[in-house]
Amino acid sequence: MGFGAIAVAILLFAVLVAVWFYGQFIWAFTQWDLANVSLAPFKSLAQLIIVATFVGGTCVGLWCFSGAAWRNRKPGRMGSSTNRRTAR
């Protein structure tokens, strides 16, 4: 499974958790049941969010696997501590 598909799965899991939270707490304890809300106007926005999440996850995956994420790393403390150990 690619990074884009994993990103979409994480997004859908987050939506599932939000729906669970709404159903468990808000809908159960209030009168706000969203019965008169239509989701049809938000269809294109939902598709845009899913596609953008997939493309963003794919780009992050390519960035990580290409090595560009670690190409400009500067050596940290590990370089200086190994030099002291070998000097003994």
CB-CB contact of 7 with 57 (8 Å): yes
Q: What is the pLDDT of residue 9?
A: 92
Most distant CA atoms of the chain, gap in Å: 76
Q: What is the pLDDT of residue 87?
A: 59
Q: What is the pLDDT of residue 34?
A: 75
Q: Where are the domains of the chain?
A: 1-31+39-69
Q: What predicted TM-score, i.e. pTM, was given to this entire model?
A: 0.59
CA distance 63 to 10: 19
Tell me which residue has tokens 């884009």: 4
Weakly modelled stretches of the chain, pLDDT under 70: 1, 75-88
Other Cβ atoms within 10 Å of 53 Cβ, number:
17
Q: What is the pLDDT of residue 45?
A: 94
In 1-88, where does DSSP find H-type helix? Answer: 3-21, 27-29, 43-66, 77-86
